[in-house]
Amino acid sequence: MASQELNNNEAILLNQRYEIQRLIKTKGFVRVFLGLDTETQADVLIKDLCWNDVSDWKSLELFEREVKNLTYLDHPRIPRLIEHFQTKKAERTHY
């Protein structure tokens, strides 16, 4: 998801389900967005890792470990993992 895509008025839909509302935070090669689950109408956080910006395999490994750990955690103060998917957008691969 290129930053200019967020500036236009068109909705960005990921995985035919999650609509990006706005960017919350950028840190290195990871961006966090507020989104809307169009199936449940619930607010969601979307964490985007862009492989093109990752400098080493360790960063991808840590991101995937976080996904795995979130699968097993169940606590009201920790976001629940709904889904993990990979998309290709504008010749960039996002996880």
pLDDT at 24: 95
To the nearest 10°, report the CA torsion of 22, 31, 44, 34. -10
Q: Work out the pLDDT band at 93, boundaries 50, 70, 90.
A: low
Q: What is the pLDDT of residue 3?
A: 43
Could you read off the pLDDT of 51-86 as tens digits, one per residue? 777 778 888 888 889 889 988 999 999 888 888 887
> What is the rounded distance in angstroms from the CA atom of residue 18 to the CA atom of residue 80?
15
| pLDDT given at position 86 | 78
- Letter string b/e over residues 36-49, b meaning 16 or more CB atoms within 10 A of that residue's CB: beeeeeeebebbbb
pTM: 0.75
Percent of the chain exceeding pLDDT 70 equals 83
